[in-house]
Amino acid sequence: MNDITLPDVVENFIAATNAHDANALVAVFGDGATVRDDGKTWAGETEIREWIQGHLITPKIVLTPTSFADDRLVASGDGDFPGGPLSFSFVFGIKDGQVTDLAIAPV
């Protein structure tokens, strides 16, 4: 993934997103994880699976990392949505190799 060094769980998140693999994406999240995106919070496996389907799988998002520092990934996101590609900030909370919290915002 370019010359950017990423934690394994972030690499797995990007690879699963780009492969449009919902099950692999769910697997990167720990029990009780939360995702904050588009002004809403998704909590737990069922809600996170809904977010994954609606925000990553259906629009066929492909992420291209541009930087990573202090658990903050900046990536270009392209897919089947108006105005793409767009840059997004992904701030990961990581514990024991799994995502516990993810906050996403446009850059």
Asked if residue 1 is part of any domain, the answer here is no
11-56 pLDDT tens trace: 999 999 999 999 999 999 999 999 999 999 999 999 999 999 999 9
Q: CA 98, CA 77: separation in Å to the nearest integer?
A: 22
Q: How many domains does the chain have?
A: 1
Q: From the CB of residue 13, how many other CB atoms can be counted at a distance below 10 Å?
A: 24
Report which of 17, 11, 16 is spatially closest to residue 79, judged by C-alpha positions. 17
Asked if residue 43 is part of any domain, the answer here is yes
Asked if residue 19 is part of any domain, the answer here is yes
Handedness of CA 75, 94, 53, 37 (dihedral sign): negative
pLDDT at 84: 72
Asked if residue 70 is part of any domain, the answer here is yes
Q: Domain range for residue 60?
A: 8-106
Q: Could you give the percent of the chain with pLDDT greater than 90?
A: 88
Asked if residue 2 is part of any domain, the answer here is no
Domain of 28, CATH number, reads 3.10.450.50
Asked if residue 68 is part of any domain, the answer here is yes
Asked if residue 3 is part of any domain, the answer here is no
Which tokens belong to 76? 């270009």
Asked if residue 37 is part of any domain, the answer here is yes
